[in-house]
Amino acid sequence: MKFTPFSGSILHLLSFKSSPFLIIMIVSAVIMLLQSCFFNGEVALENQVIQKGNNYLVGSSACMSCHSDIYNDFIKTSHKSSTMSPSKENIRGSFDEGKNSYLFNAYDGVLMKHLDSGLYQVNFYDSKFVKAYPFDMVIGSGTRGQSYAYWVNNQLFQLPISYYTNEDAWSNSPGYQDGIANFGRVIRQQCLSCHSSNADLITDVNHNNQGFEKSSIVYGINCERCHGPGGNHVDLFTQNPVYKGGNLIVNAHNLSNQQQLDACAVCHSSNASNPTTASAFATGDTLDHSQVQTNTVKKVDVHGNQYGLLLESKCFTNVKTMTCSTCHNPHQDQANELVMFSQKCMECHLPETDKFCKMSNKIEASVLKQNCIDCHMPNTESQILNVKLDTKETNTSAVIRSHLIKVYPTKSKDISALFMQTKLDSSMLPTN
Ligand code: HEC
Ligand code: HEC
Ligand code: HEC
Ligand code: HEC
Ligand code: HEC
Ligand code: HEC
Ligand code: HEC
Confirm or reject: Cβ of 78 under 6 Å from ligand 3: yes
Whether 320 shows a pLDDT value over 90: the answer reads no
pTM of the entire predicted model: 0.90
Cβ–Cβ under 8 Å, residues 164 and 146: no
- CB distance 349 to ligand 6 below 6 Å: no
Q: Quote the pLDDT of residue 168.
A: 94
Query: How far, in Å, is the centroid of ligand 2 from the Cα of 333?
Result: 10
User: Do residues 185 and 156 make contact, with C-beta atoms less than 8 angstroms apart?
Assistant: no
Per-residue pLDDT at 299 exceeds 60? no
Ligand with minimal distance to 374 CA: 7
Ligand 7: residue whose CA is nearest its atom 28: 357
Q: Which of 14-18, 203-207, 254-258, 383-387 has the highest mean pLDDT?
A: 254-258
Residue 426's pLDDT is 42
Residue 145 beta carbon below 6 angstroms from any ligand 3 atom:
yes
Q: Of 2-11, 168-177, 222-231, 387-396, give the range with the top mean pLDDT.
A: 222-231
Lowest-pLDDT choice from 17-21, 330-334, 351-355: 17-21
Q: pLDDT confidence of 275, banded at 50, 70, 90?
A: low
- 6-57, pLDDT tens digit by residue? 333 333 333 433 343 444 445 445 544 444 333 333 455 556 788 888 899 9
Query: What is the per-residue pLDDT across 99-142, written as a single tens digit (0 to 9) for each?
Result: 999 998 888 999 999 999 999 999 999 889 999 999 999 999 99
Q: Which residues contact 267 (CB under 8 A, 6 or more apart)?
A: 193, 194, 221, 273, 278
Ligand 6 pocket test: pick from 273, 306, 332, 374 the residue with the most ligand atoms within 8 Å of its Cβ.
306
CB-based pocket (< 6 A), ligand 1: 58, 62-63, 65-67, 223-224, 227, 230, 233-234, 237-238, 247, 249, 251
Expressed in angstroms and rounded, the spacing between residue 70 Cα and the centre of ligand 3 is 24
The reply to whether ligand 2 has any atom less than 6 angstroms from the CB of 335 is yes
The Cα 432–Cα 429 span in angstroms is 10
Q: At 210, is the pLDDT very low, low, confident or very high (cuts 50, 70, 90)?
A: confident
Query: For position 170, what pLDDT does the model report?
Result: 96
Element containing residue 69 per DSSP (H, E):
helix 68-74
Ligand 2 atom nearest to 197, measured from its CA: 1
pLDDT band at 301 (very low <50, low <70, confident <90, very high): low
How many angstroms separate the Cα of 29 from the Cα of each of 35, 107, 143, 152? 10, 20, 35, 19
Ligand 2 closest atom vs CA 77? 24
pLDDT for 43 = 54
Predicted local confidence at residue 308, as pLDDT: 84
Residue 200's identity, in one-letter code, is D
Note the pLDDT of residue 153.
93
Residue 265 pLDDT grade (very low, low, confident, very high; cuts 50, 70, 90): confident
| Per-chain mean pLDDT for the chain | 80
Residue 95 predicted with pLDDT over 60:
yes
Distant-in-sequence, close-in-space partners of 360: CB < 8 Å, separation ≥ 6: 351, 368
Q: How many other CB atoms are there within 10 angstroms of residue 257's CB atom?
A: 11
Fill in the DSSP letter of residue 340: H
Centre of ligand 6 to C-alpha 306, Å, is 7
pLDDT for 14 equals 38
- To test the pocket of ligand 5, the residue of 347, 348, 368 to mutate (highest count of ligand atoms within 8 Å of its CB) is 348
Provide the pLDDT for residue 74: 97
Query: So what's the pLDDT on residue 380?
Result: 83
Rg (CA), the chain: 24
- 399 has pLDDT over 70: yes
Asked if residues 142 and 165 have their Cβ atoms less than 8 Å apart, the reply is yes
Average pLDDT over residues 145-172: 94
197 lines ligand 2 (CB under 6 A): no
Q: State the pLDDT at residue 140.
A: 95
- Provide the pLDDT confidence category of residue 180 given band limits of 50, 70 and 90: confident
Of all protein residues, the one whose alpha carbon is nearest to atom 36 of ligand 7 is 372
Q: What is the pLDDT of residue 330?
A: 95
Average pLDDT over residues 241-269: 85
Percent of the chain scoring above 70 in pLDDT: 78
Counting ligands in written order, which one lies closest to the CA of residue 273? 3
Q: Is the pLDDT of residue 379 over 60?
A: yes
Residue predicted with more confidence, 257 or 286? 257
Contact 52, 223 (CB under 8 A): no
Is the distance from the beta carbon of residue 63 to the nearest atom of ligand 4 less than 6 Å? yes
The answer to whether the CB of 400 is under 6 A from ligand 3 is yes
- pLDDT reading at 385 higher than 80: no
DSSP 124-172: EETTEEEEEEE--EEES-SSSEEEEEEEETTEEEE-SEEEEGGGTEEEE
Cα dist from 333 to 44, 71, 116, 372, whole Å: 25, 12, 35, 19
Q: What is the 3-state secondary structure (H, E, C) of 249-304?
A: CCCHHHCCHHHHHHHHHCCCCCCCCCHHHHHHCCECECCCCCCCCCCCCCCCCCCC
- pLDDT reported for residue 44: 53
Q: What is the model's pLDDT at position 274?
A: 56
For residue 279, the model assigns a pLDDT of: 67
Looking at ligand 2, which atom is closest to the CA of residue 143? 17
Read off the pLDDT band of 425 (50, 70, 90). very low
